[in-house]
Structure 1
């Protein structure tokens, strides 16, 4: 018998065997088979196709929860909206609102993270200046007292300066400038704290380095007057009289009514010296052309 016919005959035998087996079942068994039929029209499968919540509804839901102070729920709504419509006009709105919500929660690092995402994705977005402001304020709100590390102050000052430079017409610029001044004052104050510690412990070189930072970098803070007087003290202790005299002279020229100038003057007089500016001194060079521009903060 040809091979093809043998295969065909074998198939027929299998089919006949299955038919006999099925016919041998009881009626109850046939009912059971019928109930297990996956194609039984009486047992239809329904796919779960829950439609997306409309974008405007998600946004308004987020606003509503935000107004009620339910910040976590509000943030989730804005996140959902951003994921649902990533390439629509709703995405930047959702992201800036999530940033604001995190800020309201005082979740400073999360605020910084979401603000950075906004600025990376929408550098020219209408809320870019606001995102920069929230990011800067998140660092600003973490500034500790001057006795502690001032990393947050440095970050705040940097972010605020970016705001001023990049968005000069922004409504947040005026406030940013004030806060830049405060951050500078904090940084200068911290340097003064360390400098005084070194001075009291007769580490005059370490003290000079700290006071030098204040004079060189933070001239427009209230600490510069004391820094100049402390420089006079430290240089006198080291016997470097020309720098001590220069520090006192620059202090007197820029702050003639300062009590710190009176102290510096007395210090020099007690050693038979008077204030005298050495134009080649780093102190003189630091202040050259800046007369009247220092000591703006009382």
Structure 2
């Protein structure tokens, strides 16, 4: 008897469990695409980035096509960036560029991709330990430079081009500083050929940065110790000609 009663009640329990769906607890369940977009945009404007991300994701999931889905795909890039999810922002920008290469605002996706890789600002721990940002892994800076460069090349008249160019100058200077750290490291440890080659790389690829005279100074010292006197003299000549009053020039002349 008990078994028959259990068999009768189980289907009722199953139907009861199925009567509530995940949407019952979703306040956006009945929203139209316009309403969902406005809610996401309001969250974004109010700096509630986590909520904005959730709403944009729901919008695209429910309404994957049309202008509102495109807006959501574009605006969620900024939401991820502000929320600190920079890698996801880059992936989202890449996705938008691939899906909408001719979109009227695709230049914004290019710009946000570069901005998300622009990691020169020190974090709390970096400030705490007074770490020089140019001693860190330069790969994010190289990627940011490449992303900004693509923006400027493809959209020279973009409203974001001027800011991108300014950031490219800062990135180039930071990359040159990183190369100087490496060249100095090699020189201090007696890897003179490696030091000279790295310094030469700076002179050839980072012209007009503040690191060029220091790179030339490293070349002069390294070549002298290697007894490559002709190369040392050539480096010194370039140093004297372009930076006659620089400390590196004075040191190199005094040691000659």
Shorter-chain TM-score category?
0.7 to 0.9
Q: Does 1:93 pair with 2:93?
A: no
CA shift at 1:149, angstroms? 1.5
Whether 2:159 is the aligned partner of 1:171: answer yes
Q: TM-score, normalised by structure 2?
A: 0.81
Q: TM-score, normalised by structure 1?
A: 0.70
Structure 2: unaligned runs, 5 residues or longer = 1-18, 123-132
Q: Find 1:233's aligned residue among 210, 221, 241.
A: 221
- Judge conservation of contact 1:215–1:227 (CA < 8 Å) in 2: yes
Counterpart Cα distance in 2 of 1:158 and 1:216: 18
- Aligned counterparts, 1:38-57, within 5 A: 53-57=31-35
Distance 2:250 2:184 in 1: 19
Report the Cα offset of residue 257 of structure 1: 2.6
Structure 2 match to 1:252: 240
Question: Which residue number corresponds to residue 108 of structure 1?
Answer: 86
Q: Which runs of 5+ in 1 are unaligned?
A: 1-45, 269-298
Structure 1 residue 180 corresponds to structure 2 residue 158: no
Counterpart selection for 2:210 from 222, 225, 240: 222
For 1:66-145, what aligned pairs fall within 5 Å after superposition? 66-141=44-119, 145=133
Q: Relative to total residues, which structure has the larger helix share, 1 or 2? A: 2
When Rg is computed on C-alpha atoms for both structures, the one with the higher figure is: 1
Cα offsets for 1:211-241 (capped at 9, x unmatched)? 1211121113110111011100100110111
Shift of 1:55: 1.5
Match of 1:213 among 201, 210, 235: 201
The Cα shift of 1:172 comes to 1.1
**Hey, what's the Cα distance between the residues in 2 that align with 1:157 and 1:131?**
15
Q: Which segments of structure 1 move beyond 6 Å, counting only runs of 4 or more?
A: 48-51
Offset at 1:143?
6.7
Q: Distance in 2 between matches of 1:118 and 1:254?
A: 46
The residue matched to 1:146 in structure 2 has which SS? helix
**Which of 171, 194, 199 is the equivalent residue of 2:187?**
199
CA offsets 1:27-67 (integer angstroms, 9 cap, x no match): xxxxxxxxxxxxxxxxxxx9x99975212111110011223
2:97 and 2:198 map into 1 onto residues whose CA distance is: 36
How many residues align structurally?
223
Kept in 2, the 8 Å contact 1:198–1:204? The answer is: yes
- Residues 164 and 176 of structure 1 are in contact (CA less than 8 Å); yes or no, is this contact kept in structure 2? yes
